[in-house]
Amino acid sequence: MCDAKEADIVRTSKNAEFSLKVMINKEKTKVLFVEGSSHFTDILLSFLTLPLGRIIKVLHKHYGDETPTIGSLHNLYRSLANLDSPHFATEGAKETLLSPTSSFEDEIKQLKLDVTDSPPNEYFKCICCGYRICRVVSVYYDHAEFCIKCGYRTRIIIEQQEEVRCEAASGDGVFTMDIASFIIFDDLRTFPNETGLLGIIRTIGIADMDKAEPIKVTLGFNEIMSLLKASLVSKTPLSDVILSKTRGAKNYITLGFEPEALLNQIENEENPNSKKMVMKAVIQKSTGKLVYAQAKEDFVEFLSSFLYIPLGGVEHLLAGKTCVKAIDNLYRSTTDLIDCEFFKSPDMKNRLINPNVAHGCISDNHIFPLTQKTLSYDQSRHSMSSSKFPNGKGSYLKGPQTYQITDDLTVTPLCIFSILSCLNKQKIHVSDVQEVEMQIGLKEGLSILKATLTSTSTLSDALLNSISIKQPKTESTEFDH
Domain boundaries, the chain: 4-257+312-384, 267-306+399-476
CB 164 within 8 A of CB 176: no
Helix or strand (DSSP H, E) at 278: strand 277-284
Cα-Cα-Cα-Cα torsion 16, 18, 19, 23, nearest 10 degrees, comes to: -160
Give CA–CA dist 309/408, Å, rounded: 19
- Could you count the other beta carbons within 10 Å of the beta carbon of residue 432? 16
Q: Which residues of the chain have a pLDDT value below 70? A: 1-13, 119-172, 206-208, 245-274, 375-394, 465-481
Which of 323, 329, 328, 262 is closest to 454 using CA atoms?
A: 323
Note the pTM of the prediction, 2 decimals.
0.84
CB 409 within 8 A of CB 292: no
Q: What angle do CA 183, 186, 188 make, to 5 degrees?
A: 65
Rg (CA), the chain: 24
Write the pLDDT tens digit of every residue in 129-150: 653 434 445 444 444 455 656 6
Give CA–CA dist 63/72, Å, rounded: 17
Give CA–CA dist 470/48, Å, rounded: 38
Write the pLDDT tens digit of every residue in 346-358: 899 999 999 999 8
Give the C-alpha distances (Å, rounded to integers) separating 439 from 113, 159, 406. 44, 45, 17
Which of 208, 204, 105 is closest to 164 using CA atoms?
A: 105
Q: Give the pLDDT confidence score for residue 103 in this predicted structure.
A: 92
* Cα distance between the two ends of the chain: 74
**Whether residue 390 has a cis bond before it, omega within 30° of 0:** no
- Between helix 73-82 and helix 52-63 the angle, nearest 10°, is 80
User: What is the amino acid identity at position 270?
Assistant: E
